[in-house]
């Protein structure tokens, strides 16, 4: 095993550990993107350029963007006062709609 591959394996393990140990979800997402980049470089060093390109595209770009979008949606729901009970949220929305209908009459 070459020194480059051994170093990248160690770096991949360390970046994976950082993902697990991070407390803030945004930091976890960025650490996960960094881990995807390290894994992509590892696959490139192992002479698998197609796998490396896929890992860099998915692990470094697409997946972190999806996680960031989900975190933004959660933050918007919390700002609106949403709960984790969709039935309760729908009942509150209907009550607000009825109150709005009465206010416009």
Question: In 3D, which of 26, 16, 18, 22 has the Cα closest to residue 69?
Answer: 26
Q: Would you kindly state where each structural domain of the chain is located, as residue ranges?
A: 3-104
Q: Residues 6 or more apart from 18 whose CB is under 8 A from it?
A: 31, 34, 35
How far apart (Å, rounded) are the C-alpha atoms in residues 6 and 94? Answer: 59
How far apart (Å, rounded) are the C-alpha atoms in residues 61 and 28? Answer: 14
Span 71-96, pLDDT tens digits: 999 898 888 876 667 777 777 778 77
Predicted TM-score (pTM) of this structure = 0.71
Average confidence score pLDDT of the chain: 88
How far apart (Å, rounded) are the C-alpha atoms in residues 39 and 45? Answer: 10
């Amino acid at each position: 095993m070459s020194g480059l591959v051994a170093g990248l394996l160690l770096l991949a393990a360390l970046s994976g550990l950082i993902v697990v140990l991070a407390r803030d979800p945004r930091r976890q997402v960025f650490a996960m993107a960094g881990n995807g980049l390290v894994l992509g470089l590892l696959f490139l060093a192992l002479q698998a350029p197609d796998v490396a390109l896929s890992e860099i595209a998915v692990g470094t770009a697409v997946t972190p963007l999806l996680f960031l979008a989900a975190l933004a949606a959660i933050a918007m729901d919390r700002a609106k006062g949403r709960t984790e009970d969709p039935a309760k949220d729908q009942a509150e929305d209907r009550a607000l709609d009825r109150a709005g209908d009465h206010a416009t009459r």
